[in-house]
Every structure is written in C-alpha cells, then in structure tokens.
Structure 1
Amino acid sequence: MREIDLHTHTNISDGSESPADTVAHAKALGLKAIAITDHDTANGVPEAKAAGEKLGIEVVGGLELGCGWYGKEVHMLAYDIDPHNEKLNGTLEWIVTDRDERNKKMVDLMAKDGIIIDLDELKAEHPGSIIGRPHFALCLIRAGLADSVQDAFVRYLDPGRKYYIRRHFLSVEEAAELIRGAGGVSSIAHPMQYRLDDEGMTELMEKARDAGVSGLECYYSGYSPEVCARLKALAAAYGFCATAGSDWHGSHKPHIEMGSGMHGELNAPYELLAKLREREKCHGFSK
C-alpha cells in the first residue's frame, strides 16, 4: 500500500520544487504523509506544514544530515524535530558556514578552468536555499559541461573528482544526539549507497545502534526486493525500524517519483511511520 514517503527534498536545499508544491505533489499522488528532509536545514518545514494543513496531508518535519565515516559521507535522516531547537539551529548555522567556505574554494577551482560562478548571483537565483554541490551541477549543465545533475556529479563533483572539496562533518554519534535533543527520531539513509563490505556495514550498524539511532532506510529508490530483504534482516538484527523514502528531488532527479521510486518499487504503508514513532515512545525519547 503506497501511503508515505519519508525522504523528499525541496528547493530549500537541492530539490526543484518549493515546500508547498512538494506537499501538493504528494497530495496529488494520493499519499497520506511525507517527510521534508532537506540537507542540513529545516527552513522549509513551516511552509510545508502549512500546505499540509490546507490540503489535508500529514507533513513530517525533518532534515538530512551528513556524517563523516572513514573518509566517506553517511547520511542520517531526522523526523519529528523541533525546528526551533536552539542547539539544532546553532549546529546547522555552523554547517552552513562550513558549506560557504567550501563553496568559495570550489568557485576558485572552477575559475582556474575558465568556469566563472558568482556566488552572490547563485544565492539570488535560489533564494532561501542552502547552496551546495547540486547548485554547482546546475551551473555546469548551463555551461554545457554536463548533461544532468547526476552526470555533473560523476564527472566533476563526486569525491575524487576535479572540483570536489571535502567539508567538515558531524560524527554519527553527534548527529544522533543532536536529533534526539531536538525531540526527533533518526534513521540511517540509503545504506547501500556507501558501498561498504560486510565488515564495514556491521560496524556502521553497531555504531548507529549504540548512538541511539532508531531506523534504517530499508526501502529506497532502485533497491531490489533482495536488497530490501537484506536490509530488513539487518534492521531486525540491530533493533532498527524499517523506513522508506524515494529521495525525491523533483525535476532535478526526473527518474525518481515521489512515493514510488524509480520503477514503482516503493510501496510503503503508513504503518512504518507509526512503528518508528512507537519505538521512540517505548525507549523514552519522544517529545
């Protein structure tokens, strides 16, 4: 039963649609609930919640944090956070400042190759957005150097590529504590994307469990039934609730549809969200 999508992005980070339009799209698709999980910001949550109240669809306030993991970046999703939490906002401000410094270094790298990007103009073009690599990808597309956002990342912006600059990250423990302190519940996002071997996956699961993470994104765009089954088994073994999300970005990732993924493989019932919240109540971490 296709009822929820717990991983969506708006134009407040790297999606193409406004928070209100994102919620309207979910409503048009017949979903009961979606989570707004923009990268390192909850600034789109108030607009999304207002749209949800108007349209009669539940909006879960959240975000997606990047965590450092042995030179890799592991993402943690947050749900039901208090967007006004002082410590959360202080940390997010630090992350944005660090992103800004990284952005300046990327601009300098591109300028050496004759690719001129004005950060002030880029911010004006995307008002209210947290500027990051996806916005640089759009610039590379306009310059005729990439065919899509994904192509720009593969050729220029992924780790190890010419214009990649690593930024600072929270640890898994720090991110989980931050989310819990803001009244929220956390889940490890798209675990297969990190290309970990069995030993590495085991270590990540143990670390996340010990840090108090509650969920594991077992259902995700492009994941086969076999992959989902493996992740569900891991979730059961380490005491996580299974979560589900498409990682929808609107027209910036046109191959992914909200609520259904790439080929209709997502089919998540509301029960997954209810179980995640119930787990938090049982563990005494709910707001």
Structure 2
Amino acid sequence: MSNRGSQSIPGPWLADMHVHTTASDGVWSPQEAVFLAKEKGLVAIGITDHDTVDGLKQAAEASSLSGVELIEGLEISTQVGDEDVHILAYYPNLDSPRLYSFLENMKEKRKERIERMMLRLKENGVKIDPDLLKSITGESTPGRPHLARALVKLGYATSTKEAFDLYLLPGRPGYYPRYRISPKLAIELVTEVGGIPVLAHPGLLNGHDTETMIREMVTYGLKGIEVFHPAHDPSSTQRYAEIGKSLCLLVTGGSDAHGPGYEYSTEIGDVRVPYHFV
C-alpha cells in the first residue's frame, strides 16, 4: 500500500467500510468481494456501490456463508458547482419505496449520460460498440469507468487514467455533465430512509473550503466523515479527524477499492479501521 493510504493508529484493523463491486464500477462480484475480505482477515466489509444497492442481496448471501459481517451501504453522487461530492449512506432501509424510486431515477440518468458520451465520442472519431460496453458493464449500470475500460480495450488509451485524461474529463471530447443533485438532497434522503449519511473522501474536494462545506452539511444532517482513505496523507487524516471530533461526527474509513487499474489501485483491505468504527 502506498504512503498515501497508510494510517498508523494502533488497534486491530478489521473492517474496510468502502468497497465497490460489479454492481457499479468495481471488478469483483459482490460475493467475491466478501470472500476476499475473509481472505484478508477482515471481519466486516462495507459494500458501497455508486448510486445502487443492487449488489447487497448477493453480498448478504456471501456474508452468511463466510461469517464476514456485511455493512450495507451505497455511495451517492452529488455535485457542488463543478465538483463531485460523494455521500456514503450506511444502513438505509432497503425496502423503502422512496429509496427505490430515487435509485431508479439515478440509474436512468446514468444510462442517458453514457449514451450522450458515446455519441460525443463517435462525433470525434472514437466509436465504442454497445455490445463491447455491455460485455464490460455486465448487469451493472454503465458509468465513465466502464467507458474508460472500453477505450483501453480498443487501443485509444493505455490505461483507464489515460482514458479519463484524454476523453472523459470536463473539457474533453467525450465528456457530458452528470445529472446533478445536491449534497443537501442526498443527506436528507439518507436520513429519511433511516440511513447514516457520511461524507466520503473529503481530501478529494479541492475547489472549496472543505471545513466550511462540512459544517454546512452538518446542518443538513450529516452524521459522519470518512477520515481514513487512500487519498489522504497523514496530515490530511489528522486534519479530518480533528474536524470530525469538533463536529461530533462519526469517523469511518475504507479502501474505496475498485480493483486494479483505478486511480489509487487499492485492493480490499488496503485501508482498514478498527471494528468499533462500524
């Protein structure tokens, strides 16, 4: 694990609270993620796919078989200005009609966005066959990481990072803005459906006064902050821990693992927190 992802607080490192699967843009199936957590010596794993809970049933089955506790969650995509702000939602009521309706709408918006991005790429001489994208996406809802993998397969880029840099970031030929919801809406929704809203990886928020933003989110109902993350160096980790303490926020942490080929190249269990964080 890189120095950015290593945090040295004494204690048993037994839970990874932030993992992605093939239900969104990770490389492991929900079952594989849970069993891999067991291999890594974890006792709990948080499955937090982007804007979906579709993998949680399979993960729950694997949890029963493996003995690894499942932390049910998802990661909701929001924006402030042009900056992505992600809200982790832990333990929502999965039977909530309100949550189901919200996620179905988000799924349709994500599909529409990818269709527009593929059209823009085609207009710029970069054609991605829908069947190829489907083979990469599987049963999950397509997103930019799936497009990036397709661009690598087709030889337009040598890595997913390069694919983003050349084609999929703002100002690049394939970019199309996402459907926007505010952190306020996400936090209030998570609270409404019985979940615990947590700000993900605050260290990735470069364009704003992060502490002021966090304080504002607390007024909406924010309950936690992801202090431990591979993008946080030791000084950032210390800073967010202090902010969390000053605002009486829950502290969480996890690898944000998607699998090989992603920006941080983290694996499940690369960032661990003591079980009492769960």
Alignment TM-score, normalising by the size of structure 1: 0.88
Paired residues of 1:123 and 1:129 also in contact (CA < 8 A): no
Question: Aligned-pair distance for 1:28?
Answer: 0.3
Q: Output aligned runs, 1:33-72, within 5 Å.
A: 33-72=44-83
Paired residues of 2:75 and 2:87 also in contact (CA < 8 A): yes
Range moving further from structure 2, 246-255 or 210-219: 246-255
Q: Residue 203 of structure 1 aligns to which amino acid in structure 2?
A: T
Give the SS at the match of 2:64. Answer: helix
Of 254, 261, 265, 1:255 maps to: 265
Indicate the residue corresponding to 2:192 in structure 1.
Answer: 181
1-structure distance, mates of 2:251, 2:237: 10
Q: Output aligned runs, 1:1-287, within 5 Å.
A: 1-119=12-130, 121-197=132-208, 200-253=209-262, 255-260=265-270, 266-273=271-278
Paired residues of 2:260 and 2:267 also in contact (CA < 8 A): no
Consecutive unaligned residues in structure 2, runs of 5 or more: 1-11
Give the SS at the match of 2:17. Answer: strand
Aligned residues: 266
Q: Residue 93 of structure 2 aligns to which amino acid in structure 1?
A: D
2-structure distance, mates of 1:84, 1:117: 37
Paired residues of 1:232 and 1:242 also in contact (CA < 8 A): yes
Paired residues of 2:88 and 2:197 also in contact (CA < 8 A): yes
2-structure distance, mates of 1:247, 1:2: 16
Q: Residue 127 of structure 1 aligns to which amino acid in structure 2?
A: G
Question: Aligned-pair distance for 1:130?
Answer: 1.2
Question: Aligned-pair distance for 1:100?
Answer: 1.6
Question: Aligned-pair distance for 1:195?
Answer: 0.7
Give percent identity, aligned residues only.
34
Paired residues of 1:209 and 1:239 also in contact (CA < 8 A): no
> Does the C-alpha gap of structure 1 residues 21 and 267 become closer, same or farther in structure 2, counting only changes over 3 Å?
closer
2-structure distance, mates of 1:160, 1:215: 33
Give the SS at the match of 1:109. Answer: helix
Indicate the residue corresponding to 2:3 in structure 1.
Answer: none
Q: What root-mean-square deviation, in Å, do the aligned CA atoms of Structure 1 and Structure 2 show?
A: 1.6
Indicate the residue corresponding to 2:5 in structure 1.
Answer: none
Paired residues of 2:259 and 2:265 also in contact (CA < 8 A): no
1-structure distance, mates of 2:107, 2:73: 17
2-structure distance, mates of 1:268, 1:175: 25
Q: Residue 147 of structure 2 aligns to which amino acid in structure 1?
A: F
Consecutive unaligned residues in structure 1, runs of 5 or more: 261-265, 274-287
